[in-house]
């Protein structure tokens, strides 16, 4: 958490006094669609995947690992039930904090407010970059950029989740990983 911006020991203690250590099994849904989660989770160990259920399929929107935070933006910012699902991909240890308490801390502690701003700034940049890549890069280039940006996720996440995140089919991703040619030399755009 301190890697986003400097936090004083006093601020860290204030946050530590308001979080609870939780453990979740693999495939557990921390946040469910159309439900109020009421908590944010600081991931200490393990990995999660966020996705939107769309017409019977799951469209992966992000991954979070050690040092990340997951919560329902719909709930925190708009007071609405989550449209997104967050599930654990591994056993997860996380520190939970009620969203109301996190909001109060952001309103009363400038260091945590800045930490939250920087976290959201970084997430916006990731989303913006992902959107641009989906619109401008070939499937191969998207995968290479993902692999460079998130090497740990490439090793730990199911390939179908990575393909969904990249907006390509699993078979296309498998061919890219195997280094097979793309047919007539054209870029694979799926």
The model's pTM is: 0.85
Contacts of 162 (CB under 8 A, 6+ apart): 60, 143, 146, 153, 154, 173
The ranges of the chain annotated as CATH 2.60.120.10 are 9-136
Hey, what are 174's tokens?
A: 């498998």
Helix axes of 110-136 and 99-108: crossing angle, nearest 10 degrees: 110
CA dihedral 63, 64, 65, 68 (to 10 degrees): 160
Hey, what are 1's tokens?
A: 């958490």
Output the pLDDT for position 130.
86
CB 46 within 8 A of CB 147: no
In three-state secondary structure terms, 185 is coil
CA distance 79 to 29: 20
Q: 159: how many CB neighbours lie within 10 A of its CB?
A: 12
pLDDT in tens, the chain (190 residues): 545 678 899 998 999 999 999 999 999 999 999 999 999 999 999 999 999 999 999 999 999 999 899 999 899 989 999 999 999 999 999 999 999 999 999 999 999 999 889 888 988 898 888 888 888 999 999 999 999 989 999 999 999 999 999 999 999 999 998 874 444 444 434 3
Q: Which class is 9-136 in CATH?
A: mainly beta
């Amino acid at each position: 958490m301190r890697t986003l911006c400097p936090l004083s020991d006093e601020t860290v203690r204030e946050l530590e006094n308001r979080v609870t250590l939780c453990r979740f099994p693999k495939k557990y849904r921390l946040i469910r669609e159309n439900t109020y989660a009421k908590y944010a989770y600081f991931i200490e160990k393990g990995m999660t995947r966020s996705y939107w259920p769309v017409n019977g399929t799951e469209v992966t929107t992000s991954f979070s690992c050690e040092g990340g935070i997951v919560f329902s933006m719909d709930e925190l910012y708009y007071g609405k039930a989550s449209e997104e699902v967050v599930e654990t991909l591994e056993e997860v240890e996380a520190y939970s904090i009620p969203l109301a308490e996190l909001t109060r801390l952001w309103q009363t502690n400038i260091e945590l407010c800045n930490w939250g701003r920087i976290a959201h700034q970084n997430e916006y940049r990731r989303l913006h970059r992902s959107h641009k890549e989906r619109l401008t890069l070939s499937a191969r280039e998207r995968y290479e950029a993902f692999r460079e940006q998130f090497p740990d996720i490439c090793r730990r996440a199911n390939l179908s989740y990575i393909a969904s995140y990249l907006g390509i089919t699993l078979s296309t991703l498998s061919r890219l990983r195997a280094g097979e040619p793309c047919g007539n030399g054209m870029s694979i755009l799926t």
